[in-house]
Chains A and B, each alone.
Chain A
Amino acid sequence: MTYLVAPTVLRIAPDAMAARTRERFGGELRRAGSFAQLCLLGAQACLDSAPERTSLGVLWASRHGARAAARTALQEAASGEPVMPFTFVATQPHLAATLLAQRSAPVARAAFVHVEPSDWPRLLGLAQTWLASCEQVLVGWVEEAAEEEAHQSDWCVLQKKPGEISCEPLREARGALPSTSADWLARVAAWTAAPREPLALRGGSEAWRFAASR
């Protein structure tokens, strides 16, 4: 059985990012870029409320990745001016795992993937296989805001050690509630406040079931 713990749902207004980062980390991580900072804010909040661990896999996803940095870097490259080194660095979306490892998280394995919003169950499936070699897997969905939306940084921990929510893939997706990477973890977090019947959520052709285990 697999257990989901510490569901953490962050929505941050773009103009509040700098203050939130300073508040959490004592300063802005300018060299890391906005996407890595957004990842780190959610991931660290999730780890803070999860049980201690000795080995951690970090598997996280985004549809667009570091699109603000990519846009800036493309503009710099198109202008004929040299690209600024840390603008280029910030285009790389995988840096959050290194930043977590710097903050003493025992990162044993890490991968960043781009998936479509309906494919969120695939990440849970991959994370489940990582539990063969990692005590916990930190799983995240991070999306920088477009226009006036809020930034999203949603994270949870999967583990084999029993926790409050058990979870498993369903053989049959029919009957499960349709969901996307933007809302599935928020639904689980809301359901956790008063869990009664198990919650079944579907993304694409796959579905997962969440149940209170205590």
Chain B
Amino acid sequence: MASFVRAAAVASASAPEVVPDLALPPAGGDWTKRAETIARAVAAALKSKAGLPQSEWQQLPCLVGSSSHFIGAREAQPDATLGPPAEFAVQLARWFDASGAAMAVNTACTSGLTALGLARDMVESGACPHVLVLGVELANRLTGAGFAALGLLSATTARPCDPERDGLVLGEAFGAVVVSGSGPWRLASVEIKVDPSGFAAPAPNEAVIAKVMDAALSAAGWKEIDLLKLQAGGSPIGDLAEARAVRSTFAALPRMVSLKGAIGHTLGASGPAELALLLDALARGIVPPTAGFARVDPELGLQPQAADATSIRRVLFNLAGFGGHVASLALEKT
């Protein structure tokens, strides 16, 4: 059995031609109430796009990808007990009015895409007809402090693939995807591998990125693609490693886009969030411009740019995560 993206919705920052279903409310105030408000709004947007009967919607199992879960709520109440992340997944599912099994996935920045891969397994094995996948990363101090301590943040702004890039800019997002047995985009393959050299490394190994892209293309039975969604978030060595991998994989470079200049690096949410934004843009016939990219870095040789998307059918979607998880998703328009 094949699996498909049936519908996707997202709350995030925006940029020209990068249009979320809703803007995030300002951070601050009661963290949990804000999370609930965002969750319920994304749920409403997703529900109307998915068009599932209410009885099927209510039975949806829910997989939540996040690297921080409800750490933000704990920060707001320092004396509170740190609850188990599985409870966060159950709570989110409840806000989505989905009462199937809920679990939380944490593989850092690839969490949401790992959850999508598990959802694909569940649909293709026949275990579930539909699965709800959430990617959630909401404001908290610890994540920012941790990335700052590791020296990975930009002092200015995110500039993916640009010679002036100087690090990541973190962002918030709440992405949601329904994976089903039918839909407008087929999940042709999801490849996620572990880079043995990636433990606490500032960037994944280029050979591992190339291997993962090759595996995704091979599993999909493709030699060429129409569009590559880069991981590129503006990390000096991260973007370089990905560029080298891309150049070793494709004799002729495909059209490219990075979304991290538009919404920031949304870590565990980035899979579902960037997927929702990209599929929305493609549905409008547009490959969005890469915010923050101004000119080609000769060392990278990559030139992401806005384009007409009407002929795009095959998309490769890259992500790489802190701790060595590297992912590539192949999507085909049906």
Q: Are B142's CB and A88's CB within 8 A?
A: yes
Instruction: Please tell me the size bucket of the interface on A.
Output: 35 or more
Q: How many contacting A-B pairs (Cβ < 8 A)?
A: 146
Q: Are A99's CB and B149's CB within 8 A?
A: no
A107 to B150, CA, bound (A): 26
Check: A86 CB closer than 8 A to any chain B CB: yes
Q: Which of B107, B108, B200 contacts A86 (CB 8 A)?
A: B200
A119 to B62, CA, bound (A): 13
B68 to chain A, nearest CB (A): 9
Check: B138 CB closer than 8 A to any chain A CB: no
Q: Are A71's CB and B105's CB within 8 A?
A: no
Interface of A, secondary structure class, is helix
Given contacts A63-B84, A73-B146, A88-B142, contact A114 B103 (CB under 8 A): yes
Q: Which residues of B contact A83 (CB under 8 A)?
A: 142, 145-146, 148-149
Check: B118 CB closer than 8 A to any chain A CB: yes
Q: Are A74's CB and B82's CB within 8 A?
A: yes
Q: Are B89's CB and A114's CB within 8 A?
A: yes
Check: A160 CB closer than 8 A to any chain B CB: no
Q: Are A112's CB and B105's CB within 8 A?
A: yes
Check: B101 CB closer than 8 A to any chain A CB: yes
Q: Which residues of B contact A128 (CB under 8 A)?
A: 125
A165 to chain B, nearest CB (A): 22
Check: B237 CB closer than 8 A to any chain A CB: no
Q: Which of B82, B121, B148, B198 contacts A67 (CB 8 A)?
A: B82
Which residue on A lies nearest to B152, using beta carbons?
A85
Q: Are B104's CB and A94's CB within 8 A?
A: no
B residues 88-147 touching A (CB-CB < 8 Å): 89-90, 101, 103-108, 114, 117-118, 121-122, 124-125, 127, 141-142, 145-147
Q: Which residues of B contact A125 (CB under 8 A)?
A: 127
Q: Which residues of B contact A93 (CB under 8 A)?
A: 106
Among all A-B residue pairs, the 6 with the closest Cβ atoms: A88-B146, A101-B196, A114-B104, A114-B85, A98-B324, A83-B145
List 19 contacting pairs A-B, 8 Å CB cutoff, sorted by A: A31-B199, A65-B84, A65-B85, A65-B106, A73-B142, A83-B142, A83-B149, A85-B149, A88-B145, A91-B146, A95-B199, A97-B325, A110-B107, A110-B325, A111-B192, A114-B89, A116-B90, A129-B124, A129-B125
Interface residues of B (CB under 8 A from A): 67, 69, 71, 74-75, 78, 82, 84-87, 89-90, 101, 103-108, 114, 117-118, 121-122, 124-125, 127, 141-142, 145-150, 192-200, 322-325
Interface residues of A (CB under 8 A from B): 31-32, 58, 63-65, 67, 70-71, 73-74, 76-78, 82-86, 88-89, 91-95, 97-99, 101-102, 107-116, 119, 122, 125-126, 128-130
Known: A65-B106, A116-B84. 11 other contacts (CB 8 A): A58-B194, A65-B84, A82-B149, A84-B149, A88-B145, A97-B325, A98-B196, A101-B194, A113-B103, A126-B121, A129-B125
